[in-house]
Amino acid sequence: MQKTFLLPLFFSLSTTLQAETEVKFLPHMAIHMNKGCQQNSSCTIELGKVNLEWNEALKSRKQSQLNKFQKKYGLPISFWTTEKENKTMVTFDSRCSKHRVKDKEIYEATMFIKSSNELLKNKKILPNLAIRERDGQSYFIPRKSLPILLKDNALVFNQDHEGAFYTLHVFSNKSHSNNNEKKKNHYLATFKTPTATDIREAQCPKELREKFISKLSNPRLYQSTFCKDIWNQNTKSYERFIFGWSCL
């Protein structure tokens, strides 16, 4: 009699445990186990949710919704890091061969931030640097991007996120002391698209190259430097900037 009762009970418990451990395959899992995360990225469930909100804000094409998101989370700014995983950022293997040195890896990363100071808090973060020749002001700009112009002391970029376009304004790092909310936050996104101007090729003075290199904490971050003349919409003249080149 004991075996008669215990055998069904055993199978019942086994079936329940199996059902609890099975994971239902959902469409987003073909890209990443965490919904909202990009393929081949190290990304938490929480960051996946923020990514989804970011997607919705961009798709809305409403500045009010974009402003609401910026106020809550900041904006996604890309850079490099020596950390493979970090709960506050999304990381990827770098596409640059010089970054894939064993035990000295450099990774591509993105984090939602309001101020460039947030990039300086973590010594393992390697921001993408740009410097203006005229006054030596530095800017932490998104990776693989060049500004289309300079306006109100901010470098202006056209950005594309999964087919959704927006304009990113990046204020200089010194702007944080200004009480203006835009400059206080360092980063501002809008749906207004300014008229792009020609970006001119330019020679980099030796002193400017030396200044740029002196500010780098990792000598393997860039393979070389280059300069461009960017149109200043306020002064109606060109200003020279130096940038770093990592790889194609």
Confirm whether 138 is domain-assigned: yes
Confirm whether 171 is domain-assigned: yes
Contact residues for 180 (Cβ-Cβ < 8 A; gap 6+): none
Confirm whether 14 is domain-assigned: no
pLDDT in tens, 54-98: 999 999 999 999 999 999 999 999 999 999 999 999 999 999 999
In this prediction the pTM is 0.84
Count: domains in the chain: 1
Confirm whether 151 is domain-assigned: yes
Beta strands 90-93 and 149-151 are unpaired
pLDDT in tens, 181-199: 444 679 999 999 898 889 9
Confirm whether 108 is domain-assigned: yes
Length of the chain: 248
Confirm whether 148 is domain-assigned: yes
Confirm whether 60 is domain-assigned: yes
Confirm whether 12 is domain-assigned: no
Domain hosting 76: range is 28-245
